[in-house]
Amino acid sequence: MADTQSDFARLDAVALAELVASGEVHPTELIDDTIDRIEAINPSVNAVIHPSFERAREIAAGELPAGPFRGVPMLLKDLWPSSVGDPYHLGVKALKEAGHTGDHDANIVTAYRESGFVICGRTNTPEFGLVATTEPEAYGATHNPWDLTRGPGGSSGGAAAAVASGMVPAANASDGGGSIRIPAAMCGLVGLKPSRGRISMGPDQEEWGNSVQHVVCHTVRDSAAILDATARPFPGDGVIAPDHGRPYLDMIGRDPQPLRVGFLVHSLRPGLEVDPEIAEAVRETARQLEQLGHHVEESHPDTLANQEMVDDFSAMWRVGSAASLRKISRWLGRDVTADDVEEATWFMGQFGDSVTGPEVLSAQNAQMVYRRGMAGWWADGHDILVTPTCMKTAPKLGELVGTPEDPIRSLTESIPYAAFTAPFNTTGQPAISLPTALSSDGLPIGVQLVGGYGREDHLLSLAAQLETVIGWPSRRAPIHP
């Protein structure tokens, strides 16, 4: 139990909620302690860019919903989940300069509030969430709590840095190509990308797209319990994922039946190699799963090596950037110019404008073929695929930032970080990054587990088994309280 406020930073969201539910702690105590930690830590990390402290205190002192996370602090990523009255900038310079604010709550924000979470602010993100580092010109670089000279990954880098540094136990994150899993791997956290249609993307985004919402956190039970609280359909949702094994919290501590697990340790991308220490972390995870009674073999879907899919994913990524530029033009009431955004964003948007309608339909059709081809490996009897989350550990700050000579370096240099994550945004399958190891220089290493569509239950039960064996929740960043 927590006898002093300093103990709160070491507890996960489930434990904090239990303290409030028992009457041992009042929500205002949690929020005041959270604000104190953010004010103490954030100057060196730059994770929280829009604090909402007074509003959080008012909400915590009032009548909170009797949800499972009543009084627990939460941070929102400053990308697509709008929150009414709060700054809403998507990492974009022009929106920051215009002081743009949200005029409604996204469905996921509604779910957080109804679950009892108290929102304390919004976190840093790269512009439009396009790259694997969080160093936007609008708000500056977020620093990795494990090594302040390195980045925390992207695009949920602010969220991951806030959790890894002990500001909050869990923070909202989103993933359109790896943006939950990459920062989780860089910052030593649990990062689950749910199945397509598991969590509502409304009212502004479409569930059928590549992006999904959830959290980064320290423990598997937090990931499971928060998914239980937020994974519900809203009117008009375009995709609703099938349920298996709910409530997900029941997966924690329950031994699953022996599962058939394949693992992959080498790169399928020409010219790119997996860091040897990361490859060994995958092998060690495979050995641990075998010792836990699962059938493990070195195997992966042949479709995963389809390099044509990279071009199709890129085409949709570029078109999405062009559409995002049009959206902020509507918000600003004027045409966006090259001066309003970063060079790489402008390049992506202009390139996206050159993609024709038939090319978009062709890319969508190719993604469908890819999705069905990938699903065959799971349909043939496999349950889980284990891969590296990223090919490299956290980069030095500046390594993934564009230069005058190479303005799109942030895009090209992000590829080794997203090569294993982006395929499962295309397929819509659930995938989780687990902090199974540390490198020889003390940086977190993430290993990715991928399940069949709708099988978060398999991922969470296996992840909980590995958490018990490895004990990563006790392994905290050097600046963590």
The residues annotated as belonging to the active site are 77, 155, 179
What is the distance between the alpha carbons of residues 4 and 2, in angstroms, rounded to a whole number? 6
- Burial profile 119-148: b = 16 or more Cβ within 10 angstroms, e = fewer: bbbbbbbbbbbbbbbbbbbbbebbbbbbbb
What is the distance between the alpha carbons of residues 272 and 353, in angstroms, rounded to a whole number? 29
Is 256 in contact with 458 (CB distance < 8 Å)? yes
What is the distance between the alpha carbons of residues 42 and 55, in angstroms, rounded to a whole number? 19
Give the number of other Cβ atoms within 10 Å of residue 185's Cβ: 33
Is 176 in contact with 211 (CB distance < 8 Å)? yes
Handedness of CA 344, 346, 347, 348 (dihedral sign): positive
